[in-house]
């Protein structure tokens, strides 16, 4: 089992927290004209006050060293902390095309939901896809997030700190 296979574990995904979606849209706009890219992480629905089993996408992890330009964002897998479990990915298309590229399709096999956000980054300028690049439903859930501190971009110092705890 490779590192990325270990990172992407399947679980039932109920949707994405509204705040998390807004964060991704804002981050994509801030990155323009370069691509924004991150990994999606989830929180148990029960921890968010939902009486359902499954996971809600609540966090976006931006990996340090991600190289981004207007047509691609390359994740350096060596920079991904070992304990990170991702449900999928999110990235932006500054050209506004809400379709996976051929390169995207090559990476979608890992993780079960992949969000593409396109310019001009309005609330409706995004789509979710499955592992095969087919559009999939992803509900936007107005849940209260337990800890807003979970919204941050990891720095190398954070990762070193996390690794020291192991
Ligand atoms: Zn893409």
Catalytic residue among 12, 18, 35, 161: 35
Residue where the block lists tokens 């997030």: 145
* Protein residues placing their CB within 5 Å of the ion ligand 1: 101, 104
* Single pTM value for the model: 0.76
134 is catalytic: no
What are the chain's domains? 3-164 (3.40.140.10)
Cross-strand partners of 16: 57, 140
Per-10-residue mean pLDDT for the chain, 166 residues long?
Answer: 48 91 96 93 90 91 74 62 74 96 90 95 97 96 74 58 52
Quote the ligand 1 centre to 149 CA distance (angstroms): 28
């Amino acid at each position: 089992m490779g590192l990325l296979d270990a990172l992407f574990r399947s679980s039932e995904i109920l949707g994405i927290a509204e705040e998390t979606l807004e964060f991704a849209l804002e981050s994509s706009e801030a990155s323009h004209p370069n691509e924004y890219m991150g990994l999606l992480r989830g929180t148990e629905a029960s921890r968010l006050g939902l009486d359902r089993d499954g996971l809600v996408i609540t966090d976006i992890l931006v990996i340090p060293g991600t190289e981004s330009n207007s047509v691609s964002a390359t994740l350096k897998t060596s920079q991904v902390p070992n304990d990170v479990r991702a449900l999928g990915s999110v990235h932006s298309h500054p050209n506004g095309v809400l379709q996976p590229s051929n390169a995207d399709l090559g990476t979608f096999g890992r993780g079960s939901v992949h969000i593409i956000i396109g310019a001009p980054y309005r609330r409706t300028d995004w789509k979710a896809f499955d592992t095969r690049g087919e559009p999939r439903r992803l509900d936007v859930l107005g849940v209260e997030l337990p800890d807003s501190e979970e919204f941050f971009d990891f720095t190398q110092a954070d990762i070193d700190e996390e690794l020291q705890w192991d």
